[in-house]
Amino acid sequence: MEKTSRTYYAWVARDKRGTLRLFDKKPVRFKWFGEWSQCLVNLNPDDFPDVTWEDGPQRVELKMKLINE
């Protein structure tokens, strides 16, 4: 079976509390609540230490391939 891999693009952003999240579209900042709009998933808060609430969202590249176990 041929292994297929794909590259996807997404966004990561951190809220005012330090929660790091992944988004499928560039998120909109809700300054009143200190949060971003519609996240896909929370990420490990230790990842991407340079991403801050003040700096805003950063675009990331996701590489995916099937793993046959």
Domain boundaries along the sequence of the chain: 5-65
**45 pLDDT more than 90:** yes
Looking at the whole model, is its pTM more than 0.85?
Answer: no
Provide the pLDDT for residue 31: 65
Q: What are the distances in angstroms from CA 67 to CA 40, 43, 49, 54?
A: 22, 21, 29, 37
Mean pLDDT of 45-69: 90
Burial of residue 29 (CB within 10 Å: 0-12, 13-18, 19+) is: middle
Q: Write down the residue that tokens 């951190």 correspond to.
A: 14
pLDDT band at 57 (very low <50, low <70, confident <90, very high): very high
Q: Is the pLDDT at 58 greater than 80, yes or no?
A: yes
* Of 29 and 26, the one with more pLDDT: 26
